[in-house]
Amino acid sequence: MSLFWRIFLLNAAVLVVAVLLLLGPVTVSTPVLFGEALVLIAGLVAMLVANAALLRIGLAPLQRLNRAMATADLLRPGHRTEVTGTGSIAELTTTFNAMLGRLEAERTTSAGRALSAQEAERRRIAQELHDEVGQTLTAVLLQLKHTADQVPQPARDDLHQAQEATRAGLDEIRRIARRLRPGVLEELGLHSALRALAAEFTTSRLGVTTHITPGLPRLDRATELVVYRVAQEALTNTARHSGGEAVEVHLRPLPSGGVSLIVRDDGRGLRSAPEGAGMRGMRERALLIDADLLLGAGPNGGTQVRLNVAGPRPEGRTESPG
């Protein structure tokens, strides 16, 4: 039972008992006249209505605070409860807003550290895949070729099949290493990295096109990495879940001097599916650079992921997630 109804029912019980006493042993006339009973009942109803209205007004800030607590989401920061009036409820609202601000700041800091550790681990794994597993498979390929040149024809065919399987495994290892560590991004920049990413996700059933507006402002390395990872996660979700056949990746300037990344597909859309780890990861990355991430339906259906990045900041002002 809510606080409002508890207080209201307690007050109502007191008033009802008072009226019963007036109608019973404590009364102005015996027997009770109809007019007196009518006046008392009308007075009781009026007092209950007035009591309910006053309690509703008085407890409205507490109800707003309760809704804010229930809907607070650290991945969507900036929402605060309006502080109205004075007294204990106003102090409680102010304290809650301050606590929410501290939690958002701590969440952003911890997410930045976690993503930095994640990027470092990705680089380490990609390096080991390239140096250890890749070199081992390359050596196996050379050995298979050398052996195939010296054995009779029936065994040579089997060795050629083993070569093809090993070569396919080596290509897959290199593809995984590129996803873990976007070397194109580090060497050639964001534009080339997005085009390479689109080519990587293009298959016989899914076409990915990129549209990059010339003259975009320069972004720091941390921002470029966030934009790349958001595009990568959006394309991964599209390839796995959308059921679409075409994806568009746009990188456009914003009037404010920033850039906007848009990944739009023609699939079945988000519908009522809850946000998974991939979407939460995109929101956490967006928070690191104070960007706005919008997930919803595209203009022609499907799903649209939009990342709006503010104007460029000097190098060193943002903690890099990599």
From CA 237, how far away is CA 240, in angstroms rounded?
5
The letter for the amino acid at 303 is T
> How many other CB atoms are there within 10 angstroms of residue 264's CB atom?
23
The model's pTM: 0.60
Contact 197, 232 (CB under 8 A): yes
Contact 138, 170 (CB under 8 A): yes
pLDDT per position as a tens digit, 212-253: 998 888 888 888 888 998 998 889 888 888 888 889 999 998
Averaged pLDDT for residues 52-64: 77
Q: 286 or 307, which is more confident?
A: 307
Residue the block writes with tokens 């080519």: 199
Look at residue 318 in the predicted model and tell me its pLDDT: 39
From CA 89, how far away is CA 287, in angstroms rounded?
31
Residue the block writes with tokens 């794994």: 125
The values of phi and psi at residue 300, to 5°, are -120, 30
Give the domains, in start order, of the chain with CATH numbers.
3-70+86-105 (no CATH), 187-322 (3.30.565.10)
The letter for the amino acid at 275 is E
DSSP H helix total and E strand total for the chain: 9, 5
Look at residue 249 in the predicted model and tell me its pLDDT: 92
pLDDT per position as a tens digit, 129-139: 777 787 888 88
Residue 129's Cα: distance from chain center in Å? 30
From CA 16, how far away is CA 9, in angstroms rounded?
10
Half-sphere exposure of 280 (CA within 13 A, CB side): 8
The letter for the amino acid at 39 is V
Between vectors from CA 217 to CA 214 and to CA 219, what angle results, nearest 5°? 125
Residues with Cβ within 8 Å of 190's Cβ and at least 6 positions away in sequence, in order, are 219, 224, 227, 228, 251
Look at residue 85 in the predicted model and tell me its pLDDT: 63
